[in-house]
Chain A
Amino acid sequence: MPNPYIPYLTKIKSILSENKVNDIKTIELEFINEEDYKEFNYIPGQFAEISIIGKGECPIGIASSPTEKGFIKFTIKKMGTVTSSFHNCEVGDTIGVRGPCGNGWPIENMKGKNIVVIGGGFAFSTLRSLVLYASNEKNRKDYGDIIIIYGNRDSGEVLYREILEEWEKRDDIKVTLTIDREEEGWTRKVGFVAAVVKEVAPSPDNAVAVVCGPPIMIRTAIAELENLGWKDEQILNSLEMRMKCGIGKCGRCNIGNKFVCVDGPVFSLAELKNMPDEF
């Protein structure tokens, strides 16, 4: 068994600024060794410990889908020391990657079901991965309707615009984009995510909802889903916690006897209600 703390080495292939404020960037990474890339088998909803060697490491959700070949992508908001260093990176820089970590979205159990994706703000990266995966021509037949509700504070904060516009054009994905307040030139919905959930009223029959976003959005959106008859087992969340190792050893991401890095980050609302309120 190898040293589990040694990362795969990758190079930055491209950097894309995702929002007007320029504090969210998506970096595309290419593995230096083809063998490493083959070992890096991931599913949507998993994360990786990515690092700038010499600056530090942090856990980030994988934004690319395994159906996209040749690279992996991470969307990083400038928050602390390491993420700020990522914002100073250039194309060609070496990035360490450990993983994939965590359980990911239950793509096998979701087969044959409708998928309702509810996202808010920059917590859309692993949702991007999930939708790309499920809507891929090879996998599309395995899943029912794909309904996306994605809200942002303003139009400048909407991530992944190109791909969202592609999805809007498809007739097998129902996309509803919303922003908090009216804005000139904005032709989609205006209003909070919870209000849009109420309006779109996704049916709980044979469906799974994945909900990611700021805590207040998650709470209000889940309340609306409950009004629509959704059960706790059908609602999935992805948690974030401070982490170091990503392999259940450094200790800090525990909620009760569970570790978010290995038992999560995806938990159903039913599971979360049985865990101590320490997340």
Chain B
Amino acid sequence: MEQKILQKDQVGKLYSELSKVYTFYAPIKEKGNIVFKKIENPKDIVLDYLNSKIPPKSVLFPETEVLFEYKLDGKDVEIIDRQDLDDKILIFGIRPCDAYSLELMANFFSFHGNLKDELYLKKKENTTIIGMGCNNPRTTCFCTSVDGNPFKKEDSDIFLTDLGEKYLVEGISDKGKDLIQKLSWLAEAKNADIKKANELAKQAEESITTKMDVKEVTKILESSFQHPVWDEISESCIGCGTCAYLCPTCTCFDVIDETDDYNNKGRRIRIWDTCQSCLYTLEASGHNPRDTKIQRCRNRIMHKFSYYPKNYDLLGCVGCGRCIHLCPVNNDLRVILDKILKVEKKEDEKAIA
């Protein structure tokens, strides 16, 4: 049987065993927010959370990441490549939407033939994902509208279901099943446990009431680039970029050199960037292809729901709802998509009139 039981008080034991092999990442509470961090003490792990504020993409695609380091010596330069990409990583307690986002990012970073982003891809390859179902999705969650589910297991190697005092542990991928075999001390799950987990999954799915026809949104976006609806959508936006920075599928970055001139060394790093910033596309000449807020707001929506499906045949959104509950001006993605869905209806009404 690949279904086991992990008692909640055994998480520390699991950590001690796995952290010998893996760099162990899990959600912790930091300054009042849930974030995924490298765990030093298993007591810090917080698993009864709704979702993390900073998406766990930060484990594989950190806010700031060294591309390479360099030493300067007069007119000569020495480049030092990353040495840590073969480290084994484990992400524990990740939600299904975020686990899916790591797959979407792998797909994006391996696109364009041989122009692959090996930094991300190598780390992803060396990562084992222990996902956890969402018993209580947030009111802002809408994963079921974007090919997701609060108990979607396929993007995890091992999947946990919170049964109260214990977790049901399921091996999903071969990698996950192998790992479970090694954890011989895990108890066998009983039929009642599996039954309870299935019930919880069903309840969770039913509790997500937002249902949107996102495929229809994609279709409408094909022909509504110039539509006045973008005026309305972008009106309240203050361009802070929270929606993009904290989006688990956003991958944009800036590149800068940080040089320690006293020691003649430095590092070229990439930093999360956002298409919501007016500087993002500003050229040295002063020309800016997206110099208005309308264009920038439109780009974010078009990217996720039109360009992404066009290029990769996937939606660029996992329905985690972070952009909704973290937007400082309550610019709700669900409302935005609803406005887009009404674009065509309005036009139909016009046609009838």
Residues of A at the B interface (CB closer than 8 Å) are: 1-7, 9, 11, 51, 53-57, 79-80, 83, 90, 92-94, 96, 240-242, 244-245, 247-252, 254-257, 259, 262, 276, 278-279
Which one, B89-97, B107-115, B163-171, is touching chain A?
A: B107-115
Does B23 interact with chain A (Cβ within 8 Å)? no
Of the candidates B77, B109, B270, B285, the one having the most CB atoms from chain A within 10 angstroms of its own CB is: B77
Does B116 interact with chain A (Cβ within 8 Å)? yes
- Complex contacts, A279 vs chain B, CB 8 Å: 289
Flag if B117 contacts A252 (CB, 8 Å).
Answer: no
- Complex contacts, B280 vs chain A, CB 8 Å: 242, 252
Closest to B265 in A: A54
Flag if A79 contacts B284 (CB, 8 Å).
Answer: yes
- Complex contacts, B251 vs chain A, CB 8 Å: 249, 251
* B interface: dominant SS: mixed
- Complex contacts, B306 vs chain A, CB 8 Å: 257
Flag if B81 contacts A6 (CB, 8 Å).
Answer: yes
Flag if B281 contacts A252 (CB, 8 Å).
Answer: yes
Closest chain A CB from B4 CB (angstroms): 36
With known contacts A3-B82, A53-B70, A94–B112 Cβ distance under 8 A: no
Residues of B at the A interface (CB closer than 8 Å) are: 67-68, 70, 72, 75-77, 79, 81-82, 108-109, 111-112, 114-119, 121, 225, 251-257, 259, 266, 268, 270, 273, 275, 280-285, 289-290, 295, 299, 302-303, 306-307, 310-311
> What are 28 of the A-B contact pairs (CB < 8 Å)?
A1-B116, A4-B117, A5-B119, A5-B255, A5-B268, A6-B81, A51-B257, A53-B77, A54-B259, A55-B257, A80-B284, A90-B75, A93-B75, A96-B77, A242-B281, A247-B112, A247-B117, A249-B251, A250-B273, A251-B251, A251-B252, A251-B275, A254-B307, A257-B306, A257-B307, A262-B115, A278-B289, A278-B299
Flag if A242 contacts B119 (CB, 8 Å).
Answer: no
Flag if A276 contacts B225 (CB, 8 Å).
Answer: yes
What is the total of A-B residue contacts with beta carbons within 8 Å?
A: 125
Flag if B111 contacts A248 (CB, 8 Å).
Answer: yes
Closest chain B CB from A217 CB (angstroms): 14
A167 to B253, CA, bound (A): 43
With known contacts A54-B266, A94-B76, A257–B310 Cβ distance under 8 A: yes
Closest chain B CB from A104 CB (angstroms): 15
A90 to B79, CA, bound (A): 20
Closest to A247 in B: B115
Flag if A53 contacts B257 (CB, 8 Å).
Answer: yes
- Complex contacts, B307 vs chain A, CB 8 Å: 254, 256-257
Complex A-B, nearest 9 residue pairs according to Cβ-Cβ distance, in ascending order: A251-B252, A80-B284, A257-B307, A79-B284, A5-B67, A247-B115, A94-B77, A54-B259, A248-B112
Partner of A94, one of B75, B252, B257, B299: B75
Closest chain A CB from B108 CB (angstroms): 8
- Complex contacts, A1 vs chain B, CB 8 Å: 114, 116, 118, 121
- Complex contacts, A56 vs chain B, CB 8 Å: 255-257
Partner of A92, one of B72, B75, B299, B303: B75
Partner of A252, one of B114, B266, B273: B273
Closest to B277 in A: A252
Closest chain A CB from B86 CB (angstroms): 13
- Complex contacts, A242 vs chain B, CB 8 Å: 280-284
